[in-house]
Amino acid sequence: MAYYLHDFVSEAPVLSTRRPTINEFFLSNYTLSIYNGCEFGCPYCDSWLYSDRPLNEIVRVPLDLPQRLAVELEQIDRGDLVAIAALSDPYQPAEQTYRITRQTLQVLADRGQPTLVLTKSTAVLEDLALLQRMNEQGLAVVMTTLLTVDPHLAARLEGKAPPPALRLAMLAELKRAGIPVGVALLPIMPYVNDTESGIRSLMRACAEAGVDFVIWDYLHIPNERHRVRINEVLARLGSYPVSYYRDIYRDQATVQLLYRQNRDSEVLTRCDGVALETRAPHRIYAGKLAPRNEAALLLKHAAFRDRATGRERMAVLHRELADLVYAGTFSEAALRESPLSSTLRAVLGQGGTGTRG
């Protein structure tokens, strides 16, 4: 068990600065981290990069975070989405004692702020009624991270988090309550959870649980410290050829393009095979976000599929247009370039005027 340290946010902002571009994975404009430190301590987690001591040793409990958030929400657009999806799990064991996440959701609910929660913990079900109310009055989405449905592999990658079957059952229950649910296959780790059979099993299980959508991205290795950590993970998992990672990463922080294209194509095929959406579908957030956010998401999600299916020029156009729409600086001429133009105009209506041209 971790040590819990009572903390006060004091005058420091609790919300991130507003994103310069919408986050297409989590639909978000702002990120919020509740606890500082994460008792689950998954060895591949990016949070190790930002922690001077073991991530799961000390968890700081920000007792005044809900009050600080209430003040900050007064300054932001009611159509912007806050994602509780960064650096620590909001339903890690500390939540049983302190209920900071529950208080935070109540503040977001009072304001009617669109919200997304990313958690590996089934304790989120204890707030099901609150999330249900939030989604009826606005938008509340719950996502879980799933790397595999193999319980033995999961135990070695994220030992303290609930097993995959429990997380899928949790999503199924949330879905039955009318709450949109998604799965984050984050990260795909080369040689570990990137096999065809592993991905096929995962997607089939997601579809059976009624998951609305899946997102994925690849293991990021931004520095030598993380590389050493990942090598330790690989050594614990079995015998992995060092050259494999050297070939795929080529001393860069991200996987090389060819590997990404192959895996994107594989995951996309598996998702299509079980009718699983590969980004949050429009029906989930239609009319529930500020028009510019909604239109920017439509464009970014289209760009993702364009790129994955080889429509590179269209992908670039949609991605650039997404950022112009988000910033409110798009032109009529730019809108006309997109096959989505009529949908975009309907979404943007009067609230999303850009420059004319």
Nearest approach, Cβ of residue 89 and ligand SF4 (Å): 4
Nearest approach, Cβ of residue 34 and ligand SF4 (Å): 11
Q: HSE of 45 in the Cβ direction (CA atoms, 13 Å)?
A: 26
Our finding on whether 276 is near ligand SF4 (CB under 6 A) is no
Our finding on whether 89 is near ligand SF4 (CB under 6 A) is yes
- C-alpha to C-alpha distance for 122 and 164, rounded to whole angstroms: 11
Which of the stretches 4-12, 37-45, 171-179, 228-236 binds ligand SF4 when contact is defined by CB under 6 A?
37-45
Nearest approach, Cβ of residue 46 and ligand SF4 (Å): 7
Please enumerate in sequence order all residues whose Cβ is within 8 A of that of 278, keeping only pairs 6 or more positions apart, or say none: 213, 214, 215, 267, 268, 271, 304, 305, 308
The phi and psi torsions of 202 (rounded to 5 degrees) equal: -65, -45
Nearest approach, Cβ of residue 185 and ligand SF4 (Å): 13
Our finding on whether 122 is near ligand SF4 (CB under 6 A) is no
Nearest approach, Cβ of residue 73 and ligand SF4 (Å): 23
Please enumerate in sequence order all residues whose Cβ is within 8 A of that of 179, keeping only pairs 6 or more positions apart, or say none: 128, 131, 132, 135, 140, 141, 142
Taking the CA atoms of 50, 53, 56 and 61 in sequence, report the sign of the dihedral they define. negative
Which residue from 349, 284, 354, 289 is spatially nearest to 321, judged by alpha carbons? 354
Which residue from 169, 176, 168 is spatially nearest to 214, judged by alpha carbons? 168
Which residue from 155, 99, 108 is spatially nearest to 127, judged by alpha carbons? 99
Which of the stretches 41-49, 96-104, 162-170, 195-203 binds ligand SF4 when contact is defined by CB under 6 A?
41-49
Nearest approach, Cβ of residue 301 and ligand SF4 (Å): 24
Which of the stretches 24-32, 38-46, 249-257, 344-352 binds ligand SF4 when contact is defined by CB under 6 A?
38-46
Q: Are strands 115-118 and 82-84 parallel, antiparallel or unpaired?
A: parallel
Per-residue binding string, ligand SF4, 203-232, x by CB under 6 A, is ------------------------------
Binding residue for ligand SF4, selected from 14, 22, 35, 41, defined by CB under 6 A: 41
Our finding on whether 120 is near ligand SF4 (CB under 6 A) is yes
Which of the stretches 10-18, 35-43, 103-111, 333-341 binds ligand SF4 when contact is defined by CB under 6 A?
35-43
Stretch 165-204 residues interacting with ligand SF4 (CB under 6 A): none
Binding residue for ligand SF4, selected from 26, 30, 35, 40, defined by CB under 6 A: 40
Our finding on whether 88 is near ligand SF4 (CB under 6 A) is yes
Residue number with CB closer to ligand SF4 (120 or 288): 120
Residue number with CB closer to ligand SF4 (138 or 163): 163
The footprint of ligand SF4 on this chain (CB under 6 A) covers a number of residues equal to 12
Which of the stretches 34-42, 189-197, 250-258, 265-273 binds ligand SF4 when contact is defined by CB under 6 A?
34-42
Stretch 54-73 residues interacting with ligand SF4 (CB under 6 A): 55
Residue number with CB closer to ligand SF4 (53 or 356): 53
Q: At what angle do helices 100-111 and 65-73 cross, to 10 degrees?
A: 20
Our finding on whether 161 is near ligand SF4 (CB under 6 A) is yes
Sheet holding 181-188: strands in order across?
30-31, 82-84, 115-118, 140-145, 181-188, 213-218
Could you identify the residue written with the tokens 């900050």? 72
Our finding on whether 148 is near ligand SF4 (CB under 6 A) is no
Our finding on whether 25 is near ligand SF4 (CB under 6 A) is no
Nearest approach, Cβ of residue 20 and ligand SF4 (Å): 24
Binding site for ligand SF4 (CB under 6 A): 38, 40-42, 45, 47, 55, 88-89, 120, 158, 161
